[in-house]
């Protein structure tokens, strides 16, 4: 375990050295279309997450719910 922590620490230190020595000014421009695309992506991720959680909640609720449809149907013995 200590050997792997040394490797992780060494990799992290080397990455930080490269990051701080290779950065330079960047002249970037985000137009309104890019902002709209980012907002749409975020809203899509939120909607997909809610939809997925809703499906899981229905499955969990089905386990604890009585099936009322079976109670409403007369059994074979009651029909005879």
pLDDT tens readout for residues 4-30: 778 888 899 999 988 888 777 777 777
What is the domain count for the chain? 1
Q: Which domain holds residue 37?
A: 2-79
Q: What's the confidence (pLDDT) of residue 74?
A: 58
- Cα 6 to chain centroid distance, Å, stands at 32
Q: What's the confidence (pLDDT) of residue 37?
A: 92
Integer angstrom CA distances of residue 50 from 37, 45, 58: 20, 9, 12
Q: What's the confidence (pLDDT) of residue 43?
A: 96
Reported as a single tens digit per residue, the pLDDT across 36-75 is 899 999 999 999 999 999 999 988 888 888 765 555 555 5
Element holding 41 (H helix, E strand) = helix 32-64
């Amino acid at each position: 375990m200590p050997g792997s922590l040394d490797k992780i620490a060494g990799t992290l230190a080397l990455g930080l050295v490269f990051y701080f020595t290779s950065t330079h000014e960047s002249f970037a421009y985000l137009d309104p279309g890019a902002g709209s695309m980012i907002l749409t992506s975020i809203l899509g991720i939120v909607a997909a997450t809610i939809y997925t959680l809703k499906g899981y909640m229905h499955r969990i609720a089905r386990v604890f719910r009585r099936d009322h449809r079976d109670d409403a149907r007369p059994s074979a013995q009651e029909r005879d």
